[in-house]
Every structure is written in C-alpha cells, then in structure tokens.
Amino acid sequence: MEKIFKNSKRIHDNFYLNEKFLVKESFKFLLNEIKKNHSNKFSLLDIGCATGVFISYVNKELPNVEISGADILEELLLKAKNNCSSAKFYHIDIFDKASVEKKFGGKKFDAVILDGVHTIFDEVTPWIENLISLVSENGIIYVFGSFNESNFDVITRVKAVDSDVWEKGWNRFSLKTVQKEFEKNNFDVILKKFNLDMDIEKTEDDRRTYTHKLDDGTRITRNGLEIISTPYLIICKKIK
C-alpha cells in the first residue's frame, strides 16, 4: 500500500494538448470575481495554466493586465506561448519551494491563481506557502477546484484496469483544512461555491468530469471514478 502511494504519478494532463480551446463557465465565474477586486492595471499569474485558455480569456477581457502563466509540463507551456504571445511563462513545480524560488526569484503578482491543480497534492502546506510567496503585499490568491464540504481530507489513487500506474489527481481536501492553513499564515479567507448551470456530457475518458441529473432536476458533478466534485473558489487576502 505504501508503495502505491509513493510511486504514484500524475499522467493525466497531456490531454490538454488536444483539448478544445474553450472558455469554461468556471473561468467566467473566476474572472468576474477578479474584476471585482482589482483595478484595471495589475499583474496576474495563472499557475497550472495548461495551454493558456484562461490567460488568453483574461487578455481579451482586460488587455491592460500584465499576464503570466506557469506549468510543470513544458509541452503545455509551448502551446500556451502560441496561444497567448503577450504573456510571460514560467516552467515550475508549485509544490516545490526551490523550483518556485529559482524561477521567480522573489517576483510578486497582484492576482495569483491556482485552478484545478490542488487536488493533485497530498499535503496542503507546501503549495499554500509557495502561493503566499508569490503574492504582492495587497494582492489576492484565488484557489479554484473541488473540496470536501465536510471536515474530512480524502486522499485517493486510481488505476486503469490494464495499466500499472497508480494515478493521483482526485484528492478532496476539506475546505476547513485549506482555510485553516491560510488563516495560520495571517490571511483572510472567503469561500464561494460555484454552481454549474449547464450539462457536461460524459466522455470516453472516465477520469473527466460530467454532470448527472437527479430525479428532482438538480445536477451533481462527478466522474467515472465515482468521485463527486464540489467546486469552490477560495479567495485569500493578507490581514493588515
């Protein structure tokens, strides 16, 4: 069992190379919140930017914003550079302090975003401390993704039947755990639930999210791993 956890990998993100260039509803929700909190000219860093869909959208909506993207996969960054040529890009591992320090060298941003990434990690402290090291004094950190509304942290590993690789990426940390970690670092935390108002079709890849309509008409967001998604935006600002 210990071996499964230690040797597990994240191998799922290359699918973004062939993904449609689609502005997701969650991107609109996120940018709407960002627009409320920042003036017209500010700097924004999207960590786990994949092929740059979100930053391209920001660039179109707010052309005065100084945009940067970061990712662990170089092939995704290459595509992101093509899609959003005005942005700066950084090849980093947001879980690794040395990587963040080396690539950013103390540079800070007014809006630091981590969208759809934190569910890969088995601990909250390293990535939260690294996000904090990247935000400017009056800046804001935005973490979007799936959380557990109950007070339990859930760590998962999944394996396709015909594969030898145990994959990571679908952890469900409690909202409370993440909130406590930011508050320990003197940050004020606001939680905003994201309700998806449309259907997402199931695809052949059982790891992808889709919506499932219940008899009363409400939807749950789930995947073929039998894991439910409860998406929240966590907005964190340093207490003065």
Ligand X SMILES: C[S@@+](CC[C@H](N)C(=O)[O-])C[C@H]1O[C@@H](n2cnc3c(N)ncnc32)[C@H](O)[C@@H]1O
User: What is the contact surface with ligand X in residues (CB under 6 A)?
Assistant: 10, 13, 16, 47-48, 50, 71-73, 76, 92-95, 115-117, 120
Q: For the CB of residue 5, give the shortest distance to ligand X in the complex, in Å.
A: 17
Q: Which is nearer to ligand X, 43 or 229 (CB)?
A: 229
d(CA 160, CA 151): 29
Q: For the CB of residue 92, give the shortest distance to ligand X in the complex, in Å.
A: 6
Q: For the CB of residue 52, give the shortest distance to ligand X in the complex, in Å.
A: 9
Task: Provide the edge-to-edge strand list for the sheet that holds 219-223.
Answer: 209-213, 219-223, 228-229
Contacts of 113 (CB under 8 A, 6+ apart): 30, 44, 45, 46, 47, 54, 141, 142, 143, 144
Beta-ladder partners of 90: 70
Q: Which is nearer to ligand X, 9 or 213 (CB)?
A: 9
Q: For the CB of residue 169, give the shortest distance to ligand X in the complex, in Å.
A: 7
Q: Which is nearer to ligand X, 183 or 206 (CB)?
A: 206
**Residue 147 contacts residue 178 (beta carbons within 8 Å):** yes
Q: Which is nearer to ligand X, 1 or 98 (CB)?
A: 98
Q: Which is nearer to ligand X, 10 or 176 (CB)?
A: 10
Task: Give one DSSP letter per residue of 158-178, joined into a string.
Answer: B--TT-SPPB----B-BHHHH
Q: For the CB of residue 209, give the shortest distance to ligand X in the complex, in Å.
A: 10
